[in-house]
Amino acid sequence: MAAAPPSYCFVAFPPRAKDGLVVFGKNSARPRDEVQEVVYFSAADHEPESKVECTYISIDQVPRTHAIMISRPAWLWGAEMGANEHGVCIANEAINTREPAAEIEALLGMDLVRLGLERGETAKEALDVIVSLLEEHGQGGNYYEDANSCHSFQSAYLIVDRDEAWVLETIGKYWAAEKVTEGVRCICNRLSLTTKMDAEHPELRSYAQSQGWWTGEGEFNFSEVFSPVEDHLDCGAGKDSLEKQEESITVQTMMNTLRDKASGVCIDSESFLTTASGVSVLPQNRSFPCIHYFTGTPDPSRSIFKPFIFVDDVKLVPKTQSPCFGDDDPAKKEPRFQEKPDRRHELYKAHEWARAIIESDQEQGRKLRSTMLELEKQGLEAMEEILTSSEPLDPAEVGDLFYDCVDTEIKFFK
């Protein structure tokens, strides 16, 4: 398999984003045949001294975990992207650095996304959770469901709440982070931090010196010190696609950016595909709810973004959940990945039909695409009403919101 392609996540703050909204978006570029599921986990209390089984290792559980909605490769425990009930959103990127990532099984970057969401009430709290777990357990292990070779990476994260974002970039247990409260920020599969670091590992600079990557003199530039010598990856066109928007950035602008194949933001290559996408809208006015949109299907240019709002009584959506293989799952047995089970969920299977029509029949494909966008538009308009209404949100009306949208989409494909 070729090196991972650029996979993007973005955040836009007012006034670049419209109407006092923070807008977050992420495309997950993964192996073409990998299925991503969208799963809700309610808040939960846990017994003292209990453990949580992550993708490869078990770690100590905390007394209480927050409710989360995540999009994840169906074979692993963590998440590519997601949100929690407190309006925290996190996405991660696999990155290459001067120091090769460990192949030894530890926490995956995607495990740390989920752990940050489950344990952090704010973006800064989630960052603190991630870096303390990195210090304790390290990161490593195969990022792909591949028995033939281990694809391990370091990780970068975009961690966002209603007030601020943190860009966190890691090399093993070492890290640096920058706080963002205005404008537009994009991260992809390369280091982006330079000389502005608002927090860092206490031994980061001495470690760089010990490796001979920094002399200790002059300004410390994180990307220059830790990027691979031959770093040919260019995220520029994708980054520009949102930053150069002349209009205010809305949820629709973010969705359009994630659908943009010309800029490279939406990947569709021989080996890789944007296997899932997510957009979140976080109103800075706390009297309005955060709204999170997930596709649950590959290629956002051929998918429908469906809304979800956290309330106490969320209706579960088995149609976006992959089959569970329990202890017999080849991802859990060692040696790992000796087989690849069929992980397609019901929405994924229905969507395969739509993708085939769009690819093969121009006229019917155009009509189908237009109807899909109309379905999405109805959802966006309904959410716009919620964000501009003077009436408080009725939780009973939105508990089955995502369920109904998925159900409508599947019926439409049939």
- Nearest-Å Rg of the Cα atoms of the chain is 20
Query: What tokens does 236 get?
Result: 């520029």
| Catalytic residue from among 9, 186, 188, 405 | 9
CA atoms within 13 A on the CB side of 174: 16
Query: What tokens does 159 get?
Result: 């961690």
Residue 351 three-state SS: helix
Within 13-80, strands assigned E span 21-31, 36-41, 44-45, 51-53, 58-60, 64-65, 68-73
Length of the chain: 414
Contact 162, 152 (CB under 8 A): no
Contact 175, 191 (CB under 8 A): no
Cα distances from 333 to residues 56, 336, 397, in angstroms, run 10, 5, 42
Q: Would you call 9 a catalytic residue per the annotation?
A: yes
Contact 142, 151 (CB under 8 A): yes
DSSP string computed for 140-177: -S-SSS-SS-----EEEEEEE-SS-EEEEEEETTEEEE
Cα distances from 15 to residues 75, 180, 242, 286, 381, in angstroms, run 39, 14, 14, 17, 22
Which residues partner with 44 through β-bridges? 65
Residues known to be catalytic: 9
